Structure 1
């Protein structure tokens, strides 16, 4: 792969007469197989754009499809019956007063090929191995920790309410036990169990759509315990940012992403810096600050390309984010090109049946539909549904809605009605009837009758 180095991104902007042209120039280079290296001579001191009181509704008309970029987070607090699928969550490592060393523990499900954060070469790491071994032994023998590991099986099986009850019971029991302990190493073990149970509870509550309750669990971690492991602290900050993003609280989301970024920059963990930059860029795009969004995302991409194999999952995820940014800018051709690169990468890595691929293809379908190519959109949605098989997930319901809208454009009223009906049936197993997503698709279904009458 040929190298193409930009010594100063700001000079490139001047040369190309603006950020937009510079971004398009780089995008073409990447598409032509160049590995682009960029140097941005500036520290990350982001100025927040003016807060939009309300995000523009890109799909205000009922006949437009659901994009899963700006709309997928429409889980209303306390409206959901149960969640869609088990999401991955990093296990929590914690040190209390620097008594123990960080310990990686079992997680419900790891992303494929997920790699551990890489430290800078000059960072010094030292700890007492005997204490670490003693701590690990105490942890493995602790009855509450064994209960926690057993409770994870309910989470893996999608039994969220049972898993949540188990995790909260473990937290309460551990917290009471903590008050009675005097041994420092044992206290560290119990604190770890408390934090893990709260983090898993937060994860489950997110699956149930109870975002505010999920945030409260993470707040307990931060307020009740002194967490000296900055990496654990960053993971909690990032998860809080993710939750605020789901709740459309973009300024709060940016605040917590930036808190994590500051820590990672202090130790120069390049991959984590890049990961946070990409997340920040997406939030900026949702706040309609597209120019800063593209600049930050390209900076994250350049770090990933310098540090990782070009076929790494995180690079393809960044292509997807760039596709989302250009989509939100309504630069649909550029969005489609990045989405195609992301799609091809995920197919090479994991085949044609993974949820990340469904998300990418759905956005491709939405863009084709918005461009008036409902036939192309219909073919993409049908392909996704064939990949999904018999899995009745929320994602499948949203794609069925989009497919039905494409059928309406092609005057296939019977097929549209069937797709809407199936989508509503699936969503009713997840949401109560006043949920916004369910109500939206029911209104879409009403279009079938009016469209049928108009062609009689």
Structure 2
């Protein structure tokens, strides 16, 4: 496959400090065998609302269920207890000077003038293919690669600490090997393993709630290695945006989503554009700009409906996002309508027990509770507790908190007290006692005593 590089000529002039230098740079690229495509970026000029004061809780200080939408950052920092790229033929560099062998996957064309990424932006970046069999064989045989695969197995088994230790070992040992290695192909292998290990480490730290540490891993990828593969770079940007969103750093999140969007617009990858538009719309909703949020989300939905079968899960995900936007706007009837469409779609695809249903049903329960229908909320929460079974996860703890609060409304004090206690026990197995989620449920638990006294 002929090598090519996609360039925005206006940015190139700025980078090379003038037209003459930019022209010489392009001439050199062509002499080196590149087919150079010049493009003009299309940009979405979304009006960014001013940073507003963090919104007040939708519940009173004495009544705090967790909606997993507006409270996304509550299960974040915890410092004590615990993709394959669809790449064009670009290159990765280390220390801004050494050119490294690129990754390469052919991307199928499903629509004219459009390429579609086959990797979810929420998955870690991986580099499993290269242009030559010799590179692939070196990668397969490298001891660091074998250590990384062991770390992945730990991750699949839920052994996060061991998985993280193994990933960081790969990165540190790889850096040491780079100082001693002179052979270019071997250097390429080591660098790819270093980047891969950092991306997986970031994913693990995210699972452990250590958001700032997860961001540092991605920053190491961006700062230590010059990544010219726009799809790999976009996926790192998207993951950074996801992490900032978890930390309630909405402006930073929006900035990185837009960076990724600009890259995908250059190559007109419609589905990737649509997915990022939906993510951007949610951030706008959190910034209290519901008008732009809905406009952008409907734009993303329109693209998905034009390109995909209407039973595609990505469409049902977008319905969920619209439900969140209307929920944050306190348009609860519209929110429930979209949540029900999302729920029905996932049930048709995957049946009654699918992880995607948990967040949808939880938000339905929260809305019912807000509307004063604690009976309907209890019914939904009890279904979710049954779904989780004996799996003592963070999600189960938050559902138990919500169910306990609904029980309080129905004066089921003993049941509420037991659920608060179980939720706290679960969360303390992940976080320390000063973590916001633990503190929140501890306060809610205190409501049982005051509520009991008020009815005596």
TM-score, structure 1 normalization: 0.82
SS of corresponding position for 2:391: coil
Q: 1:131 to 1:63 in 2, by over 3 A?
A: closer
Contact 2:92/2:227 (8 A) holds in 1 = yes
Alignment match, 1:401: 401
Q: 1:118 to 1:372 in 2, by over 3 A?
A: farther
Contact 1:352/1:387 (8 A) holds in 2 = no
CA distance in 2 between counterparts of 1:431 and 1:207 reads 12
Alignment match, 1:330: 330
CA offsets 1:427-456 (integer angstroms, 9 cap, x no match): 111111111111111111111111111111
Q: 1:329 to 1:130 in 2, by over 3 A?
A: closer
Alignment match, 2:300: 300
CA offsets 1:169-199 (integer angstroms, 9 cap, x no match): 1101111111222222222111110100011
CA distance in 2 between counterparts of 1:239 and 1:337 reads 30
**1:174 maps onto 2:174 in alignment:** yes
CA offsets 1:148-172 (integer angstroms, 9 cap, x no match): 1111111111111111111111101
CA offsets 1:356-375 (integer angstroms, 9 cap, x no match): 10110000000000000000
Alignment match, 1:95: 91
CA distance in 2 between counterparts of 1:77 and 1:345 reads 34
Q: CA deviation at 1:122?
A: 3.7
CA distance in 1 between counterparts of 2:313 and 2:421 reads 35
Paired residues, number: 394
Q: CA deviation at 1:213?
A: 1.0
Alignment match, 2:192: 192
Q: What are the residue-to-residue correspondences of 1:28-177 with 2, within 5 Å?
A: 43-79=43-79, 81-82=81-82, 90-91=83-84, 95-96=91-92, 100-103=101-104, 121-122=112-113, 131-177=131-177
Alignment match, 1:430: 430
Contact 1:374/1:410 (8 A) holds in 2 = yes
Alignment match, 2:238: 238
CA distance in 1 between counterparts of 2:230 and 2:130 reads 22
Alignment match, 2:262: 262
CA distance in 1 between counterparts of 2:408 and 2:77 reads 32
Q: CA deviation at 1:130?
A: 9.0
Q: CA deviation at 1:120?
A: 6.4
Alignment match, 1:226: 226
Alignment match, 2:120: none
SS of corresponding position for 2:72: coil
**1:416 maps onto 2:416 in alignment:** yes
Contact 2:277/2:299 (8 A) holds in 1 = yes
Q: CA deviation at 1:43?
A: 5.0
Q: CA deviation at 1:51?
A: 0.8
The CA RMSD over aligned residues, in Å, is: 2.2
Q: CA deviation at 1:348?
A: 1.5
Q: 1:124 to 1:393 in 2, by over 3 A?
A: closer
CA distance in 1 between counterparts of 2:109 and 2:67 reads 34
| The 10-residue stretch of structure 1 (436-445 or 43-52) with the greater mean CA deviation from structure 2 | 43-52
CA offsets 1:398-452 (integer angstroms, 9 cap, x no match): 1111111111111111111111111111111111111111111111111111111
Contact 1:119/1:268 (8 A) holds in 2 = no
Q: CA deviation at 1:63?
A: 1.1
Q: Which runs of 5+ in 2 are unaligned?
A: 1-41, 94-98, 117-128
SS of corresponding position for 1:56: coil
SS of corresponding position for 1:254: helix
CA distance in 2 between counterparts of 1:398 and 1:336 reads 20
SS of corresponding position for 1:226: strand
